[in-house]
């Protein structure tokens, strides 16, 4: 199954962001700490036009702390990027975010206007909750579902920072389908836009591979099932997902697993590692290089054949003239 979700308001948001980006000094990009690169919108890099970015690995209380530390090292090693991990109980760290942004654009601090920062991120990563925490009052609408914010807004913080909020938006085509499943499993894609059972099967196999003990403890299983299908059936039997005749309601079982995963009831998990993404990037570069070399070879072969045909025609003409 191909997973993509790009409703009209997301296209509108992208166009509006591009229009005002020249007025922005820095960007805050909110990521999901459980899937840092899958939740990183590739359009942000092109839209921000090289401006410094503070990447916030949000919901860090739901993520594997060891893997979060590895992701922070990765992002902080990149040019013009600062990264921190965050959960909404870290009030002191939240209050220090405006100062972090100012430090990233020191040339703007002494000018007679607030430092202008735009906060960006895909749906359901906690942008609105973070904005409310920064403002110290509930202004941005919050919901435990994607695409709650629909329009761009601007707020002035007491510490001299102007904060522009943007609707959470994805990108038109998710090329890496494993990322698509991770986004769907985390709740970044509206449930009505996905095949619930297929996403749950992906999540079940991930948990069997990476965190099997959590499954035994949460669902009180005597032993691990062989595969993801069997796991969903076991969850259905344990959690009231039986239909008349003893048939397991797989949709009900899928809801139980995904809601437990999203709510942290299966413990802190991280869907992806730095090493995995470095391998993917290197593989993509290799394949691109091979494709370019193959194209050059095709062009060289075509040129050689054209030359041979030209020489053949000339030799035929010379023979006729003789």
Q: Are 157 and 133 in contact (CB under 8 A)?
A: no
Return the pLDDT at 321: 57
pLDDT category of residue 318 using cuts at 50, 70 and 90: low
> How far is residue 256's CA from residue 157's CA, in Å, rounded to a whole number?
40
Main-chain phi, psi angles of 265, to 5 degrees: -75, -10
**Average pLDDT over the chain, rounded to whole?**
84
Query: How far is it, in rounded angstroms, from Cα 230 to Cα 234?
Result: 6
Which pLDDT band holds residue 23 (cuts at 50, 70, 90)?
confident
Distance, in Å, from the CA atom of 198 to the CA atom of 83, rounded to the nearest integer, reads 33
Least confident of 162-176, 185-199, 244-258, 275-289: 162-176
Tell which wins on pLDDT, 58 or 9: 58
Structure tokens at 89: 């109980």
pLDDT at 152: 61
Residue 50 in tokens:
């090289």
CA distance 298 to 87: 53
* pLDDT tens profile 79-104: 999 999 999 888 999 999 999 998 89
Is the predicted pLDDT of residue 13 greater than 70, yes or no? Answer: no
Question: pLDDT tens digit string along 50-70?
Answer: 889 999 999 999 999 999 999
Smallest CA-to-CA distance from 30 within 56, 10, 48 is with 56
Query: Is pLDDT at 8 greater than 70 in this prediction?
Result: no
- For 245: left if phi > 0, alpha if psi spans -120 to 50, otherwise beta; the answer is left
Q: In what order do the strands lie in the sheet with 53-58?
A: 81-85, 53-58, 26-32, 115-121, 161-165, 153-157
pLDDT at 246 over 50: yes
- The CA distance from 179 to 7, in Å, is 19
- Angle CA(286)–CA(289)–CA(294) in degrees, nearest 5? 125
Distance from C-alpha of 101 to C-alpha of 161, rounded to nearest angstrom? 9
Q: Which one is predicted more confidently, 20 or 83? A: 83
- The lowest-confidence range among 120-124, 262-266, 270-274 is 120-124
Instruction: Express each pLDDT in 172-225 by its tens digit.
Output: 567 788 988 999 999 988 887 788 999 999 999 999 999 999 999 999 999 999
Give the mean model confidence (pLDDT) for residues 15-26. 81
pLDDT digits (tens, 9 = 90+) for 133-168: 888 877 655 544 444 444 567 888 877 788 888 776
Q: Are 266 and 214 in contact (CB under 8 A)?
A: yes
Residue 255 confidence (pLDDT) above 80: yes
Which pLDDT value is given to residue 171? 57
* Residue with token string 């054949």: 305
Q: In 3-state terms, what secondary structure has residue 264?
A: coil
Q: Has residue 74 got a pLDDT over 90?
A: yes
Q: What is the pLDDT of residue 234?
A: 94
Nearest Cα to 52, choosing from 61, 43, 44? 44
Residue for token digits 């890496």? 176
């Amino acid at each position: 199954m191909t997973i993509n979700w790009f409703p009209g308001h997301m296209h509108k948001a992208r166009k509006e962001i591009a229009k005002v980006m020249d007025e922005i000094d820095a960007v805050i990009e909110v990521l999901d700490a459980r899937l840092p690169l899958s939740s990183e919108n590739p359009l942000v890099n092109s839209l921000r036009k090289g401006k410094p970015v503070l990447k916030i690995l949000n919901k860090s209380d739901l993520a594997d702390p060891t893997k979060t530390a590895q992701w922070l090292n990765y992002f902080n090693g990149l040019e013009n990027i600062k990264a921190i991990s965050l959960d909404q109980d870290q009030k002191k760290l939240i209050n220090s975010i405006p100062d972090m942004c100012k430090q990233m654009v020191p040339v703007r601090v002494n000018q007679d206007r607030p430092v202008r920062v735009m906060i960006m991120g895909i749906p359901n990563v906690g942008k609105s909750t973070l904005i409310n925490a920064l403002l110290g009052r509930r202004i941005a609408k919050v919901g435990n579902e994607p695409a709650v914010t629909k329009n761009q807004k601007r707020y002035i913080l007491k510490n001299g920072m102007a904060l522009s909020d943007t609707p959470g938006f994805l990108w038109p085509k998710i090329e890496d389908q494993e990322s698509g499943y991770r986004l769907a499993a985390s709740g970044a894609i509206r449930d009505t836009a996905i095949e619930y059972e297929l996403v749950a099967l992906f999540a079940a196999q991930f948990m069997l591979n990476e965190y099997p003990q959590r499954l035994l403890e949460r669902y009180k299983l005597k032993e691990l099932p062989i595969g993801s299908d069997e796991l969903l059936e076991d969850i259905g039997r344990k959690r009231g997902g039986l239909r008349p005749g003893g048939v397991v309601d797989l949709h009900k079982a899928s809801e139980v697993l995904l809601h437990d995963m999203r709510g942290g009831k299966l413990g802190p998990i991280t869907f992806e590692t730095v090493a995995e993404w470095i391998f993917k990037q290197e593989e993509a570069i290799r394949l691109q290089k091979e494709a370019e070399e193959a194209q050059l070879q095709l062009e060289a072969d075509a040129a050689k054949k054209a030359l041979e045909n030209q020489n053949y025609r000339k030799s035929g003409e010379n023979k006729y003239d003789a």
